[in-house]
């Protein structure tokens, strides 16, 4: 009866067996470092420490998906963005590269990408039998925003679309090489799209600047026989149809009406989300338990209860445990899937 988190997650997303609902607080490097007595700078700089922190967090929570992720700037840094690393905060961008200098890099050599791949290997070796290990890889659009300075990049979606498309082609080449290397580690690429969000761009912009590049990253994952998991930050209500055109297997979302959309797309996608991370940080364990139960009970169709975004750094461990406990002890049964 008792499945490993890996079996539980796999059975659920393939809909082979929906009886055990996975619990996915998205524990990234920052919260993992916090509960492991490490600084964020340490896990950003060292793949070994990142892996240790993620393995420790898995041993602490026994959650159903481990995500290798330290900060959003890993790929951008390898491609020329200059960062500063505060001890206990995310790296900050000090300088952007000249657009003419941007080129795809070697994921085994350049910047901290090798550290991320090493962390993935360590996690796969250590806990990969028990739990699905993912590695966050940015969609080309979000990488483009980081490479080209956010306001300029957004502005050029209108003022100089050709330049943005050139940047996106280079970002795409970089991410394709990264995705191939992630797959070699035995981990699963998880496409993170922090800026390809309906909070920031219109569905038309999404179709023009996100879809063509994301599609090619997705194609590589799919051709490797792996499920496609996509995380999009912010409001996704307005771009949900564009997202569905990409045919992901799992969509992790922050702001979306899950009850409505899980029903609407019940045959095509598994949603994952969207417990408030602010509530997780500031609420009591009792409140977290109640909110998780309420979320579960509000949705009739299969979905994976998860945090809407990364678990905030200083979230009390008891709150993460309360979220997981609410899912594990729930009597919730989803109605079966319609076979297409």
Residue 205 in contact with another protein, rule: CB under 8 A: yes
Residue 155 in contact with another protein, rule: CB under 8 A: yes
Q: What is the DSSP letter of 99?
A: G
- Sheet containing 66-68: order of strands: 24-26, 303-310, 270-275, 250-255, 229-235, 188-193, 133-138, 66-68
Stretch of residues binding another protein (CB under 8 A), selected from 19-27, 39-47, 154-162, 180-188: 154-162
Residue 143 in contact with another protein, rule: CB under 8 A: no
Residue 158 in contact with another protein, rule: CB under 8 A: yes
C-alpha torsion sign, points 197, 203, 204, 210? positive
**For residues 80 and 87, is the Cβ–Cβ distance under 8 A?**
no
Residue 276 in contact with another protein, rule: CB under 8 A: no
Residue closer to another protein by CB (options 84, 245) is 84
Ranges within 8-37 binding another protein (CB under 8 A): none
Residue closer to another protein by CB (options 118, 206) is 206
Residue 201 in contact with another protein, rule: CB under 8 A: yes
**For residues 132 and 188, is the Cβ–Cβ distance under 8 A?**
yes
* Omega before residue 255 within 30° of 0, cis: no
Residue 213 in contact with another protein, rule: CB under 8 A: no
Task: Kindly tell me which residue out of 19, 59, 82, 92 binds another protein, with binding defined by CB under 8 A.
Answer: 92
Taking the C-alpha atoms of residue 142 and residue 153, their distance in angstroms, rounded to an integer, is 10
Question: 20, 22, 61, 72: which is closest to 310 by C-alpha?
Answer: 72
Ranges within 223-242 binding another protein (CB under 8 A): 238
Determine the size of the site formed for another protein (CB under 8 A): 17
Residue closer to another protein by CB (options 114, 212) is 212
Task: Kindly tell me which residue out of 1, 151, 223, 225 binds another protein, with binding defined by CB under 8 A.
Answer: 151
Residue 159 in contact with another protein, rule: CB under 8 A: yes
Residue 162 in contact with another protein, rule: CB under 8 A: no
DSSP string computed for 223-278:
HTT---EEEEEEE-GGGHHHHHTT--SEEEEEES-HHHHHHHTTTT-EEEEEE-HH
Q: Find the shortest distance in angstroms from Cβ 84 to another protein.
A: 7
Residue 154 in contact with another protein, rule: CB under 8 A: yes
Residue 202 in contact with another protein, rule: CB under 8 A: yes
**For residues 112 and 78, is the Cβ–Cβ distance under 8 A?**
yes
Question: 278, 272, 296, 327: which is closest to 67 by C-alpha?
Answer: 272
Q: Note the residues at the interface with another protein (CB under 8 A).
A: 84, 86, 89, 92, 150-151, 154-155, 157-159, 198, 200-202, 205, 238
């Amino acid at each position: 009866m008792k499945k490993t988190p890996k079996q539980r997650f796999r059975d659920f997303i393939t809909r082979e067996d929906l009886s055990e609902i996975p619990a996915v607080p998205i524990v990234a490097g920052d919260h993992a470092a916090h509960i492991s007595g490490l600084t964020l700078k340490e896990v950003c700089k060292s793949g070994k420490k990142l892996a240790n922190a993620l393995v420790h967090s898995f041993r602490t929570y026994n959650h159903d998906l481990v995500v290798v992720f330290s900060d959003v700037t890993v790929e951008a840094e390898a491609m020329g963005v200059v960062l500063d690393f505060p001890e206990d905060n995310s790296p900050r961008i000090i300088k952007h590269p000249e657009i003419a200098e941007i080129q795809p890099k070697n994921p085994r050599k350049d910047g901290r990408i090798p550290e991320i791949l090493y962390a993935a290997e360590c996690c796969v070796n250590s806990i990969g039998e028990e739990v699905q290990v993912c590695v966050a890889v940015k969609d080309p659009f979000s990488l483009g925003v980081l490479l080209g300075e956010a306001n300029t990049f957004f502005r050029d979606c209108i003022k100089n679309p050709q330049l943005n498309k050139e940047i996106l082609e280079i970002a795409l080449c970089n991410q394709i090489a990264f995705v191939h290397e992630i797959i070699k580690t035995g981990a699963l690429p998880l496409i993170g799209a922090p800026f390809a969000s309906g909070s920031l761009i219109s569905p038309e912009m999404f179709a023009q600047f996100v879809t063509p590049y994301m599609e090619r990253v997705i194609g590589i994952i799919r051709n490797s026989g792996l499920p496609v998991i996509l995380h999009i930050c912010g409001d996704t209500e307005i771009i949900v149809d564009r997202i569905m055109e990409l045919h992901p297997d799992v969509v992790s979302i922050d702001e979306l009406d899950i009850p409505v959309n899980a029903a609407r797309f019940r045959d095509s996608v598994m949603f994952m989300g969207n417990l408030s991370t602010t509530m997780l940080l500031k609420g009591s364990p009792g409140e977290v338990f109640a909110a998780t139960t309420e979320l579960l009970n509000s949705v009739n169709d299969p979905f994976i209860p998860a945090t809407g975004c990364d678990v905030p750094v200083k979230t009390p461990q008891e709150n993460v445990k309360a979220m997981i406990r609410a899912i594990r002890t729930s009597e919730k049964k989803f109605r079966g899937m319609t076979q297409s």
